[in-house]
């Protein structure tokens, strides 16, 4: 079912690795809105999880949770391998960054993370918030990570995002007093929910 959502939004499944799926957009054919398509597929995959959990309840010891990492960048794409075994594949630092971004979903406890290079290609209607800048192993530059919440940002989300990113700016500037004062209403609001 997750593969169906990838295909529905024009993605190409490159591989199944353990319990993960590696998919690409904009290859083998060009797709102008590849970042948006990948994000829409991720959101559609997330919508499948409650139905999958209902289907597998009682069979699996814990509910299914998914983490999706999306990065946009150049990659080497095509048939790779040897004369004995080859397959269609993608290689390069941008693929590694996507994998590391997926891994970070566990640390941030959010189901979908996207990098800045993906975020800047999305329509402004998408509900995203910047979580931090990270430097992943093997990369010399930092990369901004964003939580992808929805394809359309509600007024409530916009207000939450604005407040959260204000706190983040204070924190990153080392203005601890302003950051702690600005975060109190956010924590109170989250506890009330």
Nearest in space to 21 (alpha carbons), one of 56, 75, 67: 67
pLDDT tens digits along 44-60:
999 999 999 999 999 99
Given a cut of 70, whether residue 98 has pLDDT beyond it is: yes
Handedness of CA 157, 162, 163, 168 (dihedral sign): positive
- Average of per-residue pLDDT values in the chain: 93
The two beta strands, 12-17 and 20-24, are antiparallel
Binned at pLDDT 50, 70 and 90, residue 192 comes out as: low
CB-based contact 147:138 (threshold 8 Å): no
Classify residue 124 by burial, with Cβ atoms within 10 Å: 0-12, 13-18, 19+.
exposed
Instruction: DSSP for 84-130, please give it.
Output: S-EEEEEESHHHHHHHHHHHHHHHHT-SEEEEHHHHTTS-TTSEEEE
Which value, to the nearest 10 degrees, does the dihedral of the CA atoms of residues 40, 45, 47, 51 take? 160
pTM of the model: 0.92
pLDDT tens digits along 58-76:
999 999 999 999 999 999 9
Secondary element (H or E) of residue 28: none
pLDDT given at position 100: 94
């Amino acid at each position: 079912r997750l593969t169906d959502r990838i295909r529905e939004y024009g993605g190409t499944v490159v591989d199944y690795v353990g319990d993960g799926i590696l998919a690409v957009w904009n290859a083998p054919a060009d797709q102008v809105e590849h970042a948006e398509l990948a994000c829409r597929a991720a959101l559609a995959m997330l919508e499948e999880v409650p139905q999958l959990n209902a289907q597998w309840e009682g069979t699996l010891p814990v509910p299914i949770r998914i983490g999706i990492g999306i990065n946009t960048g150049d990659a080497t794409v095509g048939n790779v391998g040897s004369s004995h075994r080859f397959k269609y594949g993608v290689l390069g630092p941008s693929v590694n960054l996507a994998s590391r971004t997926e891994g970070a979903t566990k640390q941030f406890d959010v189901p979908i993370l996207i990098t800045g290079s993906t975020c800047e290609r999305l329509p402004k209607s998408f509900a995203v918030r910047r979580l931090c800048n990270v430097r992943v192993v093997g990369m010399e530059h930092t990369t901004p990570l964003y939580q992808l919440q929805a394809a359309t940002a509600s007024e409530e989300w916009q207000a939450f995002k604005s407040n959260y990113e204000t706190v983040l700016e204070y924190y990153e500037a080392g203005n601890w007093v302003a950051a702690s004062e600005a975060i109190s209403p956010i924590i109170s609001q989250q506890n009330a929910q």
